[in-house]
Chain A
Amino acid sequence: MPSHHHRPESEVALRVKAIESLLVEKGIVDLAALDAIIDTYEHKVGPHIGAQIVAKAWVDPEFKKRLLADGTGAISELGFTGFSSEHMVVVENTPEVHNLIVCTLCSCYPWAILGLPPTWYKSFAYRSRAVIEPRKVLQEFGLEIPEQVEVRVWDSNADLRYLVLPERPDGAEGWSEEDLATLVTRNAMIGAAKVQPPAAADSLVA
Chain B
Amino acid sequence: MTAQDARVLLAKGLSCQVDSNLPAKFQVGDHVKAKVIHPKTYTRLPRYIRGKVGTIVKDHGVYVFPDTMGQRLSTKPQHVYSVRFTAQELWGLDASPKDSLYIDLFDDHLEAL
B contacts with A, residue count (CB < 8 A): 36
Judging by beta carbons under 8 Å apart, are A82 and B10 in contact?
Answer: yes
Is residue A84 contacting chain B, with contact meaning CB distance below 8 A?
yes
CB distance from A150 to the nearest CB of B (A): 5
The answer, among B3, B44, B63, B87, for a CB contact under 8 Å with A33, is: B3
Is residue A60 contacting chain B, with contact meaning CB distance below 8 A?
no
* Complex contacts, A134 vs chain B, CB 8 Å: 99
Q: How many A-B residue pairs have CB under 8 A?
A: 112
Highest count of chain A CB atoms <10 Å: which of B11, B12, B82, B105: B11
Judging by beta carbons under 8 Å apart, are A30 and B10 in contact?
Answer: no
Is residue A153 contacting chain B, with contact meaning CB distance below 8 A?
yes
* Complex contacts, A148 vs chain B, CB 8 Å: 98
Judging by beta carbons under 8 Å apart, are A151 and B80 in contact?
Answer: no
Given A152-B99, A158-B80: A86 and B16 within 8 A (CB)? yes
Judging by beta carbons under 8 Å apart, are B2 and A135 in contact?
Answer: no
Is residue A77 contacting chain B, with contact meaning CB distance below 8 A?
no
Q: How far is the CA of A192 from the CA of B79 in the complex (A)?
A: 30
Judging by beta carbons under 8 Å apart, are B96 and A86 in contact?
Answer: no
* Complex contacts, A92 vs chain B, CB 8 Å: none
Question: In this complex, what residue of A is CB-closest to B102?
Answer: A154
CB distance from B60 to the nearest CB of A (A): 6
* Complex contacts, A37 vs chain B, CB 8 Å: 6, 10
CB distance from B66 to the nearest CB of A (A): 8
A contacts with B, residue count (CB < 8 A): 39
CB distance from B113 to the nearest CB of A (A): 21
Judging by beta carbons under 8 Å apart, are B91 and A82 in contact?
Answer: no
Highest count of chain A CB atoms <10 Å: which of B14, B104, B105: B104
Is residue A112 contacting chain B, with contact meaning CB distance below 8 A?
yes
Is residue B93 contacting chain A, with contact meaning CB distance below 8 A?
no
CB distance from B58 to the nearest CB of A (A): 9
Given A29-B1, A83-B13, A86-B16: A131 and B99 within 8 A (CB)? no
Is residue A187 contacting chain B, with contact meaning CB distance below 8 A?
no
CB distance from B2 to the nearest CB of A (A): 6
Going nearest first, the 5 A-B pairs with the smallest beta carbon separation are: A158-B104, A32-B3, A86-B13, A33-B6, A159-B16
In the complex, given contacts A150-B99, A157-B44, what are 7 additional A-B residue pairs having Cβ atoms less than 8 angstroms apart? A30-B1, A86-B15, A87-B17, A135-B99, A150-B100, A158-B104, A159-B80
| Chain B residues packing against A (C-beta within 8 Å) | 1-3, 5-7, 9-17, 44, 46, 48, 60, 63, 66, 80, 82, 87, 90-91, 96, 98-106
| Chain A residues packing against B (C-beta within 8 Å) | 29-30, 32-37, 40, 45, 81-87, 89, 104-105, 112, 131-132, 134-135, 147-160
